[in-house]
A and B are shown apart, each in its own frame.
Chain A
Amino acid sequence: MQRIIPMLLTSIVGVIAIASYFVPVAQPFQDRVEEWFLIVAAIAMVLGAASLLLHHLKAISNQEAGWGYSAVTVAALVITTTVGLLKLGAPPDLKHPELAWSGSYLAEGGGAWWIYTYVMSPIVATMFSLLAFYVASAAFRAFRARNFEAMLLLGTALIVLLGRTSDGTWLTSGVPADYPLATIPGLNVLIMSVFNTAGQRAIMIGIALGVAATSLRILLGLDRSYLGGD
């Protein structure tokens, strides 16, 4: 019963979603299902946070390897949630200055705003910025023409790298306008809009067919992996 009811729910909702594309009568059901989705998603977020908390508390309690990271995760979760929910430090709304909690939890100067601006933003931005250093090191050590395929990749990369800067335009600025494919920007456009687009379309169609097949298996109850079992 624990598996049959979720399977039935999944199949019914899935069939409604598909039918609504073809049968106008089913459209109101589809709209209602989408509204429910938002409510279920909100509940799932709470469940997810609780599950995360339990998992890391267990790791701390058992002093598992890397439990210090779990402690940081728990501290971050608890502090951020508390500061946000209680609107700690958040100034009241200008329209209602007499009401302490009338302002937005993310209002400038508030605790949640401070965490976002001075903790989260620099951490995330630093992580992405570090990529430039590692990509440069990797380009020097690994991006080498060891065989024909690697040579093709290398040539394409150099054209795209140059084509993404004004150097590409400058280097081939002497080429007459009648021969765009003899310029680096022209070659860049050719690579991106012909070879890249053809490859991307093939991948997209493949993914779409895969999604359709998997969805059908789920709707028919053949694929039950989403229930956490076989």
Chain B
Amino acid sequence: MTTLTAILASLQRLDRRWIFLAMLIAVLIPVLTRVTYPETPTAMTSAVFNKIESLPSGSRVLLPLDYDPGSEAELGPMAKAVIRHCALKRHKMYFLTLWPTGLPLLERNLRQIVEGEFKEVGLKYGVDYVNLGYVPGEAVAVKLLATDFRKARGQDNTGTSLDRLPMMQQVRSAQDMDLIMAISAGYPGVKEWVLFAAIPNRIPLGMGVTGVTAPQMYPYYPNQVVGLITAIKGAAEYETALAAAYPDEMSRLDASGIQRMGPQLWAHRLMIVLIVIGNILQLTRGRGGRK
């Protein structure tokens, strides 16, 4: 009993640097051991996957990647998974970003996935994919893109006129897209795509968002958006669905979402343990106080 009291007393005075150390270990070990855990796709993630899967090959998919390095760890894996899916389905991909700091990440995705992993497939710039680059104007840019691409941005990221790109010949605006798959970390982002593009023009819209933003987006599902991929867990679920549908192709590619769920799982476990210990301390202190 005295030992227990001593432990509780020492926990009451616990220096927060021990908690920081515990969090570091909880995250570091899964990162180093590369341990993974099984994921089951939820209805919202599956809805996005099924929509992209059900589109006929060659469909037009607009891919706004509206996030910066601060959210890359959370949104990067889902962006990768969605791009891979579109490339596997041979959809025509129209990339852009509403975030000035998102452009290098967009370019890196293009280099690593479209021009790297799918190099053998021979996807051609201007025919199978295009980088429209950074489109300034935030919410107004979305509205302009929904009515006329050329008013929002007359050139692609390399400065080539959109009229000279084969895949832009039949495309006037986002209304010509078969799907908008917006991945966003905040403003401007998915909400603007819902309000100014998807709803007024009845364009199917899929969303990929951070864990913090997700609760605000639930009211739009399923009437305004086809589905929702949420944070790393959503990315891991998407990768699971992708691996099930394309086992041969995905076996040679990394699954960063599934990998990152390991540290997240252990961090969540630590948080739960800390909350429980904190409440036990609260309970014992309360009783002590009443005595």
Contacts and interface: CB of A to CB of B under 8 A. Distances in A.
To the question of whether A and B form a pair in one complex, the answer is yes
Interface of A: 31, 34-35, 37-38, 41-42, 93, 104, 106, 113, 116-117, 120-121, 124-125, 127-129, 132-133, 135-137, 139-141, 143-146, 154, 157-158, 161-162, 164-167, 169, 185, 189, 192-193, 196-197, 200-201, 204
B19 interface: yes
A19 to B, nearest CB: 15
A139 B274 contact: yes
A143 B219 CA distance: 27
A167 B269 contact: yes
Contacts of B270: 136
A38 B136 contact: yes
Contacts of B136: 38, 41-42
B85 to A, nearest CB: 22
A128 B73 CA distance: 10
With a 10 A CB-CB cut-off, give which of A120, A144, A154 has the most chain B CB atoms: A144
B245 interface: no
Interface of B: 14, 16, 19-20, 22-24, 27, 37-40, 42-43, 68-73, 101, 103-104, 107, 136-138, 140-141, 143-144, 147-148, 151-152, 157-158, 211, 214-216, 218-219, 221, 231, 233, 261, 264-265, 267-272, 274-275, 277-279, 282
B175 to A, nearest CB: 14
Nearest to B277: A140
Contacts of B16: 137, 140-141
A165 B236 CA distance: 10
B282 A144 contact: yes
A132 B265 contact: no
A196 B215 contact: yes
Given A133-B20, A161-B268, A167-B268, A143 B275 contact: yes
Nearest to B11: A140
Given A31-B151, A192-B215, A37 B137 contact: yes
A206 to B, nearest CB: 13
A154 B283 CA distance: 14
A42 B73 CA distance: 30
A117 B104 contact: yes
Contacts of B157: 104
B219 A127 contact: no
9 contacts: A31-B151, A41-B136, A128-B70, A141-B16, A143-B279, A161-B271, A162-B268, A167-B269, A197-B219
Contact of B23 (A38, A136, A146, A154): A136
B70 A125 contact: yes
Given A37-B140, A125-B70, A145-B279, A196 B271 contact: no
Contacts of A166: 37-39, 261, 265
B275 A121 contact: no
Contacts of A140: 14, 16, 19, 274-275, 277-278
A36 B6 CA distance: 70
A38 B152 CA distance: 8
Nearest to A35: B151
A164 B44 CA distance: 14
Given A41-B136, A136-B20, A165-B265, A146 B282 contact: yes
A141 B16 CA distance: 9
Nearest to A36: B140
Contact of A164 (B101, B103, B268): B268
Candidate in A34, A104, A143 with the most chain B CB atoms within 10 angstroms? A34
A200 B73 contact: no
A154 B275 contact: yes
Which of B267, B275, B277 gathers most chain A CB within 10 Å? B275
A121 B279 contact: no
Contacts of B104: 106, 113, 116-117
Contact of B137 (A41, A93, A124, A143): A41
